[in-house]
């Protein structure tokens, strides 16, 4: 098989379509491994930064990117003719939710039309975007076949779900196992060969539908278990038990338990979105997924619970939430990243404002963000600013936040991530501070 030889000999060209959180690290990894990569992107602002060797993804270093671009191994481009010049095309475009939480596959359709217009015999097309089972064969394939070429006969088609975890210092493209499945056995083997260039472990499954469902299951599993942790947190709070200590204690069991942690809700492009894709497809088959719906309800309710907690804490201190000054620390949807998509911190801010509080935020990684037509800017974190807030709310536990300073100067803190455990030698030392402040320091 000619293409297989070219792949194993790294004598191929790959076009990655969509250079975001998923596509850019993948494109860089292939280029780093000596494969010629064209990064096809429709956002000209992103392309301009890439051409200057500037990375907008924290997990990709600008130095690495710059040298790959200079060496001609990575070509950022809006010229779709590079698709025709490639052997392999990997589609990494967004799959958000639209109105009523329905899957929005418009980006996949539009990318598919572009690829179809440049499709040639022998191409291997791989979809990485997360979507419901059937997307590769029922949505992508028909659009590609509008070219007149047939999948399995004229070109190869496969699905390989992305498993990138932005901000994770331990797991990356190389050491995270990759699932692959083609619409034919040949396509599966070719996709396996492609990813074997950059991933230590590639796992074949029997069909794209299995790979698509596996991805949804992974993230739904996380969604449901976070919801369970959030419920545990509520009952522990009522009972005066430290839920974090409980989870860490349970996690000492070496089998049958995996720790998930409570927080202000779920965010990002995956955990709040992927279960909606699963629900949508399940409904078409007459299935209700009660666990998933319940997890939605619990996780979606968390920002309100955080604000309830702020209100209760202020009332204990003889103040009203309305008219109070609050300071939110961290707005990214999780620690050590700069992504605010679907971030629960934004919902917390929205609800604090709705209840009449004034809100400032500080996030060392998010200097500003836009929400509902308004632009919000991170304020400088000074002892005076911390002291002037009636309540500080830790929504994202970035490693670089000065927790000791926060603890020293704040009047009241709601810590939704157990971030202060880092500066308190034990959970009980956090409780001492709490007592000194008349119960003002709430750990959730």
Ligand X SMILES: NC(=O)c1ccc[n+]([C@@H]2O[C@H](COP(=O)([O-])OP(=O)(O)OC[C@H]3O[C@@H](n4cnc5c(N)ncnc54)[C@H](O)[C@@H]3O)[C@@H](O)[C@H]2O)c1
DSSP state of 54: -
CB of 238 to ligand X, least distance (A): 34
Cα–Cα distance measured from residue 260 to residue 393, given in angstroms and rounded to the nearest whole number = 21
Q: Does 179 bind ligand X (CB under 6 A)?
A: no
Applying CB under 6 A, which part among 42-50, 175-183, 237-245, 246-254 lies near ligand X? Answer: 42-50
Q: Note whether 238 and 317 are within 8 A (CB).
A: no
Q: Does 88 bind ligand X (CB under 6 A)?
A: no
Q: Note whether 126 and 93 are within 8 A (CB).
A: no
Residue 51 makes CB contacts below 8 A (sequence gap 6+) with 69, 76
Residue 273 makes CB contacts below 8 A (sequence gap 6+) with 95, 96, 97, 130, 342
Q: Residues 29, 87, 145, 162: which binds ligand X (CB under 6 A)?
A: 162
> What is the number of the residue whose Cβ is closest to ligand X?
20
Cα–Cα distance measured from residue 418 to residue 402, given in angstroms and rounded to the nearest whole number = 14
Intra-chain end-to-end CA distance of the chain, in Å? 59
Q: Does 195 bind ligand X (CB under 6 A)?
A: no
Three-state SS string over 359-406 comes to EEEECCCCCEEEECCEEEECCCCCHHHHHHCCEEEECCCCCCCCHHHH
Nearer to ligand X, 146 or 320 (CB): 146
Nearer to ligand X, 46 or 82 (CB): 46
DSSP state of 324: -
Q: Does 168 bind ligand X (CB under 6 A)?
A: no
Cα–Cα distance measured from residue 141 to residue 126, given in angstroms and rounded to the nearest whole number = 11
Query: What angle is formed at CA 408 by the lines to CA 403 and CA 413, rounded to 5 degrees?
Result: 70
Applying CB under 6 A, which part among 15-23, 188-196, 380-388, 421-429 lies near ligand X? Answer: 15-23
CB of 246 to ligand X, least distance (A): 29
Cα–Cα distance measured from residue 1 to residue 65, given in angstroms and rounded to the nearest whole number = 33
Of the candidates 15, 24, 113, 86, the one whose C-alpha atom is nearest the C-alpha of residue 60 is 24
Nearer to ligand X, 95 or 313 (CB): 95
Nearer to ligand X, 218 or 237 (CB): 218
Binding mask 110-149 for ligand X (x = CB under 6 A): xx--x--------------xx-------------------
Applying CB under 6 A, which part among 17-25, 247-255, 346-354, 426-434 lies near ligand X? Answer: 17-25
Question: Can you read off the two tokens belonging to residue 26?
Answer: 């993948």
Nearer to ligand X, 30 or 244 (CB): 30
Q: Residues 76, 94, 208, 264: which binds ligand X (CB under 6 A)?
A: 94
Q: Does 270 bind ligand X (CB under 6 A)?
A: yes
Cα–Cα distance measured from residue 3 to residue 11, given in angstroms and rounded to the nearest whole number = 9
Question: Can you read off the two tokens belonging to residue 134?
Answer: 């059937």
Applying CB under 6 A, which part among 117-125, 161-169, 230-238, 291-299 lies near ligand X? Answer: 161-169
Cα–Cα distance measured from residue 197 to residue 193, given in angstroms and rounded to the nearest whole number = 7
Binding mask 229-268 for ligand X (x = CB under 6 A): ---------------------------------------x
270 assigned to active site: yes
Helices (H) and strands (E) in the chain — how many of each?
A: 16, 15
With CB under 6 A, what is the number of residues at the site for ligand X? 28
CB of 18 to ligand X, least distance (A): 3
Nearer to ligand X, 160 or 311 (CB): 160
Nearer to ligand X, 338 or 415 (CB): 338
Q: Does 65 bind ligand X (CB under 6 A)?
A: no
Applying CB under 6 A, which part among 36-44, 173-181, 383-391, 412-420 lies near ligand X? Answer: 36-44
Q: Does 93 bind ligand X (CB under 6 A)?
A: yes
Q: Does 22 bind ligand X (CB under 6 A)?
A: yes
Length of the chain: 444
CB of 444 to ligand X, least distance (A): 26
Question: Can you read off the two tokens belonging to residue 314?
Answer: 């202020």
Nearer to ligand X, 52 or 320 (CB): 52
* Residues engaged in binding ligand X (CB under 6 A): 17-23, 40-43, 46, 92-95, 107, 110-111, 114, 129-130, 162, 164, 166, 268-270
Catalytic residues: 270
């Amino acid at each position: 098989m000619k293409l297989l030889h070219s792949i194993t000999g790294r004598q191929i060209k790959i076009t990655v379509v969509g250079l975001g959180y998923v596509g850019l690290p993948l494109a860089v990894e292939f280029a780093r491994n000596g494969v010629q990569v064209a990064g096809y992107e429709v956002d000209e602002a992103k392309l301009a930064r890439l051409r200057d060797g500037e990375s907008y993804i924290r997990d990709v270093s600008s130095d690495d990117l710059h040298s790959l671009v200079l060496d001609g191994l990575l070509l950022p481009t809006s010229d779709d003719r590079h698709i025709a010049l490639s052997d392999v095309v990997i589609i990494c475009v967004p799959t958000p939710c639209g109105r009523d939480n329905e899957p929005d596959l418009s980006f996949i359709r539009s990318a598919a039309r572009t690829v179809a217009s440049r499709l040639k015999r022998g191409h291997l097309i791989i979809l990485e975007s997360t979507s419901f089972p059937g997307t590769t064969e029922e949505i992508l394939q028909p659009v590609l076949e509008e070219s007149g070429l047939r999948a399995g006969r004229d070109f190869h088609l496969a699905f390989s779900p992305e498993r990138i975890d932005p901000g994770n210092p331990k797991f990356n493209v190389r050491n995270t196992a990759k699932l692959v499945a083609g619409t034919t056995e040949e396509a599966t083997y070719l996709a396996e060969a492609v990813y074997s260039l950059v991933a230590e472990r590639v796992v074949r499954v029997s069909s794209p539908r299995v790979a698509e469902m596996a991805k949804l299951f992974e993230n739904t599993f996380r969604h449901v278990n976070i919801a369970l942790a959030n419920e545990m947190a509520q009952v522990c709070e009522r009972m005066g038990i430290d839920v974090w200590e409980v989870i860490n204690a349970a996690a000492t069991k070496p089998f049958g338990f995996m720790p998930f942690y409570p927080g202000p809700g779920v965010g990002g492009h995956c955990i709040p979105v992927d279960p909606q894709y699963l629900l949508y497809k399940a409904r078409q088959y007459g299935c209700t997924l009660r666990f998933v719906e319940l997890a939605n309800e619990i996780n979606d309710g968390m920002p309100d619970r955080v604000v309830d907690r702020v209100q209760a804490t202020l009332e204990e201190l003889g103040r009203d939430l309305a008219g109070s000054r609050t300071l939110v620390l961290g707005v990214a949807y999780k620690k050590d990243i700069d992504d605010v998509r679907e971030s629960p911190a934004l919902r917390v801010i929205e609800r604090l404002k709705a209840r009449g509080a004034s809100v400032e935020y500080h996030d060392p990684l998010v200097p500003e963000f836009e929400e509902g037509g308004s632009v919000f800017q991170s304020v400088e974190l000074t002892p005076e600013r911390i002291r002037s807030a009636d309540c500080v709310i830790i929504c994202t536990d970035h490693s670089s936040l000065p927790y000791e300073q926060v603890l020293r100067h704040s009047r009241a803190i709601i810590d939704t991530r157990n971030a202060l455990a880092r500066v308190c030698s034990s959970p009980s030392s956090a409780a001492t501070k709490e007592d000194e402040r008349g119960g003002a320091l709430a750990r959730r």
